[in-house]
Structure 1
Amino acid sequence: MRLPGGTISAAQLHALADAAEACGDGDLHLTSRGNVQLRGVTRPSLAARLADAGLLPSPSHERVRNVLASPLSGVRGGLADVRGLAGALDFALCSAPELAALPGRFLFAFDDGRGDVAGEGADVCWRALDSGTGTLLLAGGDTGRRVARADAVAALIEVALEFCRIRGSAWRVAELDDPAWRRTPVPRVEVSVPVGLIERDGGFAAGVVPRFGQLSAAQARALAEFGTALVTPWKTVVLPDVPADVFERLGFGGEALGTTACIGRPGCAKSRADVRADAVFRPGLRAHFSGCERRCGKPSRSHVDVVAEAGGYRIDGRWVPLDELKGNL
């Protein structure tokens, strides 16, 4: 289920929790694009449930509704408020029949100037320079084109339409050789992922970290008690307006952010191991455990690469047996 800007209402969280229990494995799986997956779907009625919840506004465009936005925008920090831009882009995207042909990997982003989602590999991104103006990024590089916030949605749609026209066999902007799409590389900013209780004007927000980016249906319903939520590309959830005792009331969300993993066995037939059972947690350790070379769910930030092989794991290219895994991380 694609969530432009990561935004999901309380009613939609309840609907997904119900759908996960009725049609899938009972859990909501967060993705590195700020979306939600339901797994183990073997029973009917899922599409009808999603449509009723407003989560399937355009079946023809569903694959291409990939939009990130700075999750703390309008809550704390940032140069501009990008709230509302993702929803406006989604509407414009679904209103353009020709954009249904975009590759499903094409990614849009709105960065409020702090550099958080600008570093997540978007094909086209508007990044704020001040409250009313931003720069247009293509595949993470600066085009030098300055765009008013009011024109940001139109500019991103313009890029998507032109990409569809010239792309040939390219799936991503980075694959284009056309000199008209040249851009200046932008240094990557190491941004702190919003975690824990976050002070904001007049109250608090919260960054909730489910282990492995996985929420049970009960946990999703608990989040919904605090209103609209924002799913981030770091497999966390931001609650924009909460009381100071939010974590006591939730009863979860205090996991250290660092170790991530693909679904592994038994959820994926290609995985060589139950990577989530083997994963190592240690304060300060940033590692991603993959069941095979596809490295599904790999974070964009720097991390230790841990890939399953027969009898052990390859850690940043060095093989170690399973019983020595902890000592080598």
Structure 2
Amino acid sequence: MPPSPSTRSQAAAPPLRDRGDACPGALRLHQAADGHLARIRLPAGDLTVRQASALADVADLLGDGHLSLTSRGNAELRGLAEDCGGRLAALLRDAGLLPSERHERIRNILASPLAGLDRHTPSDVRRWARELDALLCASESATALSGRFLFVLDDGRGDVAAFGGDVSLLAEPGADGNGDEEAGADGNGDGEPGADGNGDRTGPAAGALLRVGDDPAALRIAGPDVPRAALAAAEAFLTAAAASGSGAWRVRELPDGHGLTARDVAEALRSAGIEAAYVAEPPTPGARTSPPYAPSYAPPYADSATPGIVEGPDGDRALSVLAPLGRLSVAQWRLLTTIADADGSGALRLTPWRGIVLPGLPAATASDRLTELTAAGLITDPASPWHRLGACTGRPGCAKSRTDVRADATAAVAAGTTVPDEAPTASPPLGLPVYWSGCERRCGHPHGTWVDVLATAEGYRVALVEPDTAPTGAPTSAHTAAPPPPAQ
């Protein structure tokens, strides 16, 4: 039977935090059932070929020979020895992946993966992400942010705007309304890629709309001020959190009477010398034909979560692939790195859909390279049953999991479905993500509407989760499949 209808529950009161968050990092390792885990923050998911190669080496030398991709476009190493921290840090530092040890866990910057790669999209969010990262790493006050605080920079297509950022920025198009200005991503007008080698080729945005938490209002910020405004908004949150005494890790956790709104941030921006215009009803991300987007800004946009070939300006192509259940072997990772180095722009972009984008390939080789990646076991076809299918770590890697959800999900795919039910009608609504979780924490679950496959003591429960459904709440009506094996 299909997933049951979702139910909406009362919003929970904000928690009171009496300690810092326990999010793992590159220096703070987490002890898991399969060894220690390190999470490497990659702002905007950006990696050079050299950095990607270094991660492969680390996974081979110190880890279990695999890399995991997270829902924030970061990378995780598993199976690490308890005493490898010093050697791990040295390898990451040499590769430029630890620009500031005191800030490494707070470099949570998510950006539209295809910005500047497909037609008519401003690439500025990638540059803004790099500038914001530099500002974060230079800020003493920013060290007080939690490892869960999230910056989101959307290029205007709306692909990452709904990812629940604490500070979210939505790029607005340039003067001609479609982002087609002739200046290159480096702002020098020559139409060439920026100096970082990311292959950005489209023109600049006029600026961005800044939002904090769930406040529907926004602030219009001029392009050159966007990175500074994002940092100032985060600092305003820290001030509000300190005044509330709640120890809040995120904007949504601020208690009533101490919340942070766009108007509050506007005052902080003015104090920092940043102009901001209040916008009570900002446009919906992705609504290309609504002001301020001109009708000419309405061509189809590539779906950042869809695998395949992305057509870009000047005959360039980008390859977008997904990792089955978010895990890659070192061999798969090295193949991606080789293609990026030989045919691409020398860069890789990790996506929050546990995928990888390779920018800057010539049209003549893109198809053959995609075939190579298919043969290597990566997801390259939107029709693949692995597309939009995810799972938490499960057993044996996580002691809290009730079962090996990855093995069970793999068995379901082999049986021709993506949910744990023998009935031929057991299929999720078309196009929705399906996520298998070994316990109620549902680590790494999707955003928005998704199909929840939860292992319980009685069996798997399948239900539809919608934006206002509490992820940790048990649905009042759900389908129960065969029970998973007992926890060991």
What is the TM-score with the length of structure 2 in the denominator? 0.63
Letter of the structure 1 residue corresponding to residue 105 of structure 2: R
Separation of aligned partners in 1, 2:330 and 2:401: 25
Q: Are residues 1:181 and 2:181 paired?
A: no
User: Kindly tell me: are residues 305 and 185 of structure 1, through their superposed partners in 2, closer, same or farther at Cα, counting changes over 3 Å?
Assistant: farther
Q: Hey, what does 1:197 align to over in structure 2? A: 309
Q: Hey, what does 1:109 align to over in structure 2? A: 152
Separation of aligned partners in 2, 1:40 and 1:212: 17
Output one character per residue of 1:113-155: Cα deviation in whole Å (capped at 9) or x when no partner. 1111111111001111222121111125443311011110010
Q: Are residues 1:248 and 2:356 paired?
A: no
Letter of the structure 1 residue corresponding to residue 165 of structure 2: A
Contact 1:194 / 1:238 at 8 angstroms: preserved in 2?
no
Q: Are residues 1:83 and 2:196 paired?
A: no
Separation of aligned partners in 1, 2:388 and 2:49: 27
Q: Hey, what does 1:97 align to over in structure 2? A: 140
Contact 1:118 / 1:140 at 8 angstroms: preserved in 2?
no
Query: Identity, % of aligned pairs?
Result: 44
User: Kindly tell me: are residues 139 and 85 of structure 1, through their superposed partners in 2, closer, same or farther at Cα, counting changes over 3 Å?
Assistant: same
Separation of aligned partners in 1, 2:149 and 2:252: 10
Separation of aligned partners in 2, 1:87 and 1:299: 25
Q: Are residues 1:217 and 2:363 paired?
A: no
Q: Hey, what does 1:327 align to over in structure 2? A: none
Contact 1:29 / 1:213 at 8 angstroms: preserved in 2?
yes
User: Kindly tell me: are residues 157 and 34 of structure 1, through their superposed partners in 2, closer, same or farther at Cα, counting changes over 3 Å?
Assistant: same
Letter of the structure 1 residue corresponding to residue 46 of structure 2: T
Separation of aligned partners in 2, 1:314 and 1:182: 40
Separation of aligned partners in 1, 2:98 and 2:150: 18
Separation of aligned partners in 2, 1:160 and 1:37: 25
* Alignment coverage as a number of residue pairs: 324
**Superposed displacement of residue 180, structure 1:** 5.3
User: Kindly tell me: are residues 241 and 313 of structure 1, through their superposed partners in 2, closer, same or farther at Cα, counting changes over 3 Å?
Assistant: same
1:60-75 matches, within 5 Å, as: 60-75=102-117
Separation of aligned partners in 1, 2:310 and 2:445: 26
Identify the range of structure 1 (14-23 vs 138-147) with the bigger mean alpha-carbon deviation: 138-147
User: Kindly tell me: are residues 180 and 14 of structure 1, through their superposed partners in 2, closer, same or farther at Cα, counting changes over 3 Å?
Assistant: closer
The alignment's C-alpha RMSD in Å is 2.2
**Superposed displacement of residue 79, structure 1:** 4.5
Identify the range of structure 1 (121-130 vs 187-196) with the bigger mean alpha-carbon deviation: 187-196
Separation of aligned partners in 2, 1:38 and 1:275: 19
**Superposed displacement of residue 253, structure 1:** 2.3
Separation of aligned partners in 1, 2:107 and 2:406: 29
Q: Are residues 1:145 and 2:216 paired?
A: no
Contact 1:26 / 1:216 at 8 angstroms: preserved in 2?
yes
Identify the range of structure 1 (286-295 vs 307-316) with the bigger mean alpha-carbon deviation: 307-316
Letter of the structure 2 residue corresponding to residue 236 of structure 1: G
Identify the range of structure 1 (179-188 vs 104-113) with the bigger mean alpha-carbon deviation: 179-188
User: Kindly tell me: are residues 296 and 132 of structure 1, through their superposed partners in 2, closer, same or farther at Cα, counting changes over 3 Å?
Assistant: same
Separation of aligned partners in 1, 2:240 and 2:94: 37
Separation of aligned partners in 1, 2:45 and 2:387: 19
Output one character per residue of 1:8-50: Cα deviation in whole Å (capped at 9) or x when no partner. 1111111111111111111110000110000111162211111
Q: Are residues 1:172 and 2:172 paired?
A: no
Q: Which runs of 5+ in 2 are unaligned?
A: 1-39, 174-204, 264-279, 288-302, 341-345, 419-429, 464-474
User: Kindly tell me: are residues 291 and 303 of structure 1, through their superposed partners in 2, closer, same or farther at Cα, counting changes over 3 Å?
Assistant: same
Identify the range of structure 1 (302-311 vs 110-119) with the bigger mean alpha-carbon deviation: 302-311
1:221-232 matches, within 5 Å, as: 221-225=334-338, 226=340, 227-232=346-351
**Superposed displacement of residue 309, structure 1:** 1.4
Helix, strand or coil at the partner of 2:225: helix
**Superposed displacement of residue 298, structure 1:** 0.2
1:320 is aligned, of 469, 480, 485, to 480
1:302 is aligned, of 441, 449, 455, to 449
Contact 2:436 / 2:453 at 8 angstroms: preserved in 1?
yes
1:28 is aligned, of 67, 78, 81, to 67
Q: Hey, what does 2:438 align to over in structure 1? A: 291
Output one character per residue of 1:263-305: Cα deviation in whole Å (capped at 9) or x when no partner. 1000000000000111133484631000000000101132111
**Superposed displacement of residue 192, structure 1:** 5.5
Separation of aligned partners in 2, 1:180 and 1:173: 7
Letter of the structure 2 residue corresponding to residue 312 of structure 1: G
Contact 1:193 / 1:234 at 8 angstroms: preserved in 2?
yes
**Superposed displacement of residue 310, structure 1:** 2.4
Separation of aligned partners in 1, 2:119 and 2:448: 21
What is the TM-score with the length of structure 1 in the denominator? 0.92
Q: Which runs of 5+ in 1 are unaligned?
A: 325-329
Runs of 4+ that moved beyond 6 A: 183-186
User: Kindly tell me: are residues 8 and 323 of structure 1, through their superposed partners in 2, closer, same or farther at Cα, counting changes over 3 Å?
Assistant: same
